[in-house]
Amino acid sequence: MDSRTMTVSDRMGVEEHRNWDDVDYSALLNGQAFPTNFMWGVATASHQIEGGNSNNWTRFEPTSKSGQESGIACDHWNRKEQDLDLIDDLNVTHYRFSLEWSRIEPEMGVWNEEAIAWYSDLVDRLLKRGIQPMVTLHHFTNPLWWEDLGAFEKEENIIYWIRFSSKMFECLSDRVTWWCTINEPAVYASMGYVLGEFPPGQRSFKKTRIVSLNLMRAHARCYRTLKSMENGADAQIGLVKNINLFDPYRRWNPLHRFQANLLDGMFNRCWIKGLKTGRFKPPSALRSIAVEGLKDSSDFIGVNYYTHLLATPFMPTKVEIDPLIRPWEERTDFRYPMYAEGLRRAFEMVAQLNIPIIVTENGVADDDDDMRPEHIRRHLHITSEAITDGFDIRGFYHWSLMDNFEWAEGYEQCFGLYHVDFETQERTLRTSGELYASIAKAHRMPQVVILAGGLGTRLGEKTEHMPKSLIEVGGKPILTHILDWVQGQGCNRVLVLTGHHGEQFDGFTHTGLDLAFVQETEQLGTGGALWNARDHLEDEFILLWGDDYHPIDYVPLVQSHRSKSSPLTMTVTTEHEVMNLQVEDGRLLKYSKEGDVPDDFNGYEAGTSVVNKSIVLEHGKDGAWSWENTIYPSLAKQIHVHLDATKFWDMGTPERLQKLEDFFNETRR
């Protein structure tokens, strides 16, 4: 064990430090470190990026530690579309942002419809790009009128925040699934009422206790209220908890241990225990109090993780004094150390809640970007390892999209994957941003390509000239059913090959997917359609038939494709009346679509495959040709087979169409 690989364990747990030089990060870039349906995100908060706000912070800023004012911040309010491009370019599937209550309800009971429309439009634009929004209802800022009422210092004020939250839930929950109630209640309480660095800049243990309790009450009420509303049952609503680890500076020193334990109890344990048991003992309180509705009031737990702090009885309470660090640790610009190992401990801490975990924030202040790439690699490595070890971690949001107004620190601490020049508002992707984008790209679900141009010639007069994929079954076009499935599997980019009657798809939409269409001038067959669309194909894509419904789990399919490094992985079922291929040792040996098949045929192509674009480029040609009759025989032995017995539904004949209709009506009931 070298000096950097130390683990000290006692009653307080383990403070592990790894020798990171030996860690193999290759899985991060080859798509093997995370499940394909993992949520890849970036996070921001309204006041930090929007600019032009008027709230408790703007009033406090002139007297804050840095004295810097948020001003126009990143001017995000006026640069929505441009900033969405930035998000898109990171290849993320999710975006976490907060709603600025002071804009939405600038005076008590007065709603600013324009502001509401701005957020609603943001949601629409995200969904159009296939990016799922995650909305935070409270991220440190309050409208002035509410601050003047005493904000979270008074229980009777909670009702106003709940009214705001329900109003916004009513507006957005038809499109937004992910909701965070309160961001970091322990930070809000301790920074505002112990350290005095956040508004209202006070130092009062008594108020800290009351505010903490009211934050928990507010969270619980918010959760219960939203859950009881329309769309509430389907929404995923959770609290966001900053886990700041406290380790004794000298483990042998009982005073250091005592202090670390005390701080951990106040900052972390009491909040988690509150959620778990429904009884909350606010920091420095003597007894716990039952909070109505608090027990199990989160569908997921958001974890914001940044660092650990080394505790002694004489810890600096002002951030100007450098915190203690281990000799081998590296300081971030914020002066606290990079300590990725602690993220695992944060997972262990919240895992006792037995709910899915989402890293809602992790990042680093590092203006020159010499540390952030390694910071990203380490924290993702720890997350990946924890998933392998069985932790239910669903996603990771990097903090932050771009440099922004870092509260009491002003503009000095730069957390962005994009650098922002605050003079010109120019954004520049940092090297770390490129890294994060390539890790997300290597892991996210492939693009989905749907061959949707085949006509319903055999299905009667009505559909003779209509693409089969548009035929309604179970109340909506089969293509919509397919897209619902695709979206549920975590895919967000879909290319529909519409055949030569593409105009019939005009106006076809599907919320939440980045949907594109490629039309043909003449009938090209399945192979010709793919060749025709080659410029729009990503390097790897999932290929589907637009007239088949095949509800299989994409995660094992894509993972097996990526691990076998085969150019094509085909889903095969052995449970079918007829056979059209022969499989041996996980490879396709022979394929024949037509006529009688030999006795040794033992499988049937079920319709969902993963294809590397290289095949299209190597075997493609102009004109009409069939994908399956050309590619399958010529690539036979290289094609990897994924066995899955899930029934697929086609609509080739009126009888089969009826069966599919019955199936959808059945599942809807």
Which token pair is 230? Answer: 């329309």
In 444-583, alpha helices (H): 478-488, 525-532, 554-564
Of all residues in this chain, which one has the CB nearest to ligand BGC in the complex?
A: 45
Write down the least CB distance from residue 289 to ligand BGC, Å.
Answer: 26
Under rule CB under 6 A, residue 246 binds ligand BGC: no
Q: Which is nearer to ligand BGC, 183 or 566 (CB)?
A: 183
Closest CA to 74 of 414, 398, 435: 414
644: Cβ–Cβ under 8 A, 6 or more apart, which residues? 552, 553, 556, 557, 571, 572, 573, 606
Q: Which is nearer to ligand BGC, 65 or 619 (CB)?
A: 65
Q: By CB under 6 A, what part of segment 266-325 binds ligand BGC? A: 304
Q: Tell me the per-residue interface mask from 445 to 484 with ligand BGC, x by CB under 6 A, - otherwise.
A: ----------------------------------------
Torsional class of 592: left (φ above 0), alpha (ψ -120 to 50), beta (otherwise): beta
**CA 49 to CA 103: how far, in whole Å?**
14
Cβ count within 10 A of residue 255 = 14
Write down the least CB distance from residue 258 to ligand BGC, Å.
Answer: 26
In 129-253, alpha helices (H): 144-149, 158-172, 185-193, 205-228
Q: Which is nearer to ligand BGC, 414 or 544 (CB)?
A: 414
Under rule CB under 6 A, residue 74 binds ligand BGC: no
Measured in whole angstroms, the distance separating CA 383 from the mean position of its chain's CA atoms is: 14
- Residue 150 to residues 141, 160, 370: CA-CA distances in angstroms? 13, 12, 43
Q: By CB under 6 A, what part of segment 336-395 binds ligand BGC? A: 361
Write down the least CB distance from residue 434 to ligand BGC, Å.
Answer: 22
**CA 499 to CA 107: how far, in whole Å?**
55
Under rule CB under 6 A, residue 498 binds ligand BGC: no
DSSP 3-state of 422: coil
The three state secondary structure string of 347-415 is HHHHHCCCCCEEEEEECCCCCCCCCHHHHHHHHHHHHHHHHHCCCCEEEEEEECCECCCCHHHCCCCCC
Give one DSSP letter per residue of 240-262, joined into a string.
EEEEEEEEESSTT-HHHHHHHHH
Write down the least CB distance from residue 415 to ligand BGC, Å.
Answer: 6
Write down the least CB distance from residue 380 to ligand BGC, Å.
Answer: 18
Using the rule CB under 6 A, give the single segment among 179-187, 203-211, 276-284, 657-665 that binds ligand BGC.
179-187
β-bridge mates for residue 245, sequence order: 308
Cβ count within 10 A of residue 116 = 18
Q: Which is nearer to ligand BGC, 301 or 641 (CB)?
A: 301
In the list 415, 545, 591, 627, the residue contacting ligand BGC (rule: CB under 6 A) is 415
The DSSP bridge pattern shows strands 604-612 and 540-545 to be antiparallel
Under rule CB under 6 A, residue 399 binds ligand BGC: yes
**CA 216 to CA 141: how far, in whole Å?**
17
Write down the least CB distance from residue 90 to ligand BGC, Å.
Answer: 18
Under rule CB under 6 A, residue 126 binds ligand BGC: no
In the list 15, 147, 406, 644, the residue contacting ligand BGC (rule: CB under 6 A) is 406
In the list 28, 33, 42, 45, the residue contacting ligand BGC (rule: CB under 6 A) is 45
Q: Which is nearer to ligand BGC, 187 or 402 (CB)?
A: 187
Applying CB under 6 A, the site for ligand BGC has a residue count of: 11
Under rule CB under 6 A, residue 53 binds ligand BGC: no
Write down the least CB distance from residue 399 to ligand BGC, Å.
Answer: 6
**CA 383 to CA 345: how far, in whole Å?**
11
Cβ count within 10 A of residue 603 = 22
Q: Which is nearer to ligand BGC, 187 or 544 (CB)?
A: 187
- Residue 424 has phi, psi (to 5 degrees) of -105, -10
In the list 115, 187, 401, 639, the residue contacting ligand BGC (rule: CB under 6 A) is 187
Q: Tell me the per-residue interface mask from 505 to 534 with ligand BGC, x by CB under 6 A, - otherwise.
A: ------------------------------
Write down the least CB distance from residue 48 to ligand BGC, Å.
Answer: 6
In 516-653, alpha helices (H): 525-532, 554-564, 613-619, 627-635
Write down the least CB distance from residue 43 to ligand BGC, Å.
Answer: 8
CB 98 within 8 A of CB 183: yes
Write down the least CB distance from residue 334 to ligand BGC, Å.
Answer: 7
**The residue type at 225:** T
Using the rule CB under 6 A, give the single segment among 28-36, 180-188, 348-356, 638-646 that binds ligand BGC.
180-188
Write down the least CB distance from residue 134 to ligand BGC, Å.
Answer: 13
**CA 297 to CA 315: how far, in whole Å?**
34
**The residue type at 227:** K
Under rule CB under 6 A, residue 184 binds ligand BGC: yes
Q: Which is nearer to ligand BGC, 413 or 447 (CB)?
A: 413
| Burial class of residue 425, CB neighbours in 10 A (0-12, 13-18, 19+) | middle
Write down the least CB distance from residue 187 to ligand BGC, Å.
Answer: 5
Write down the least CB distance from residue 105 to ligand BGC, Å.
Answer: 21
Q: Which is nearer to ligand BGC, 242 or 297 (CB)?
A: 242
Under rule CB under 6 A, residue 242 binds ligand BGC: yes
Residue with tokens 């429904």: 278
Write down the least CB distance from residue 300 to ligand BGC, Å.
Answer: 17
Write down the least CB distance from residue 182 to ligand BGC, Å.
Answer: 11
DSSP 3-state of 600: coil
Under rule CB under 6 A, residue 183 binds ligand BGC: yes
Residue 39 has, within 13 A of its CA and on its CB side, a CA count of: 28
Using the rule CB under 6 A, give the single segment among 182-190, 288-296, 439-447, 594-602 that binds ligand BGC.
182-190
Q: Which is nearer to ligand BGC, 303 or 440 (CB)?
A: 303
Using the rule CB under 6 A, give the single segment among 183-191, 252-260, 262-270, 274-282 that binds ligand BGC.
183-191
DSSP 3-state of 337: strand
Q: Which is nearer to ligand BGC, 184 or 369 (CB)?
A: 184
Residues that bind ligand BGC (CB under 6 A): 45, 48, 183-184, 187, 242, 304, 361, 399, 406, 415
